[in-house]
Amino acid sequence: MYVGRIVAVGRTKDGRSAAMYRVSSRSFPNRTTRAVENGALIVPREGYQDDIYKNPYIAYRCIQIVGDIAVATNGSQTDAIAEKISIGMPARDAMVSALLTLDYEKDDYNTPRIAGVVTREGDTALLGIVRKDGINVREMKVEPGELLYIATYEIDDVDPARRDGFDSADAESGARHVVGGGAFADLTNPVTAACAMEAGDGFEIATYTPE
């Protein structure tokens, strides 16, 4: 099944919070993920830089760390949510405000904007989506060893019952998991992924692009 972009939030069995992001794409598969300070970017592969002139939505910051909070999204709302959190706005309000302001993407598919937020040492996580027909943001409890997820197509609603097992050892294995592990293994057209996972007194960032 093709579901487009995916955001997942979860906790490992030993209670470490994680936020994951995966690009699945049929139109623009020539992309990769680049880890940067306190985050990760989706960018065109070398030789395909001109793709951004064909579609302005294909390059963006997909993960941003703000103190003890990790934000993962499929577009420029990453920066908007992170900025609002950095000035003291509660994460839920920041997500609602950013999604409402930016709205769904005005491309050929009216692609929804999706987002997830986790906090270090917390037992809850946020998932949100804004589609052409509305917005839904929810805070949900996440037990150790499970994750929740949402995508831009097909599974494009916030469903507290949509949960899967999760126990990646580190951020790199978390990025690999959202590409080919558990419930994600049967979701087609994976391109690249990133993960922020609680490590020590902060978050570790890792990326994975299958060959």
> Domain with 118 in it: what CATH number?
3.60.20.20
Query: For residue 67, what are its two tokens?
Result: 């103190």
Inside any domain, residue 29: yes
Inside any domain, residue 107: yes
Residues 6+ apart with CB under 8 A from 202: 65, 68, 120
Total domains in the fold of the chain = 1
Digit-coded pLDDT (tens) for 81-118: 999 999 999 999 999 999 999 999 999 999 999 999 99
DSSP string computed for 173-207: HHHHHHHHSGGGTT---EEEEEEEEEETTEEEEEE
Is 211 a residue whose pLDDT tops 90? no
- Phi and psi at residue 54, to the nearest 5°: -85, -30
CB 55 within 8 A of CB 211: no
Inside any domain, residue 189: yes
Inside any domain, residue 1: no
Digit-coded pLDDT (tens) for 119-166: 998 899 999 999 999 999 999 999 999 999 999 999 999 999 999 999
Domain span at 193: 6-208
CB 5 within 8 A of CB 31: no
Inside any domain, residue 122: yes
- Phi and psi at residue 171, to the nearest 5°: -65, -35
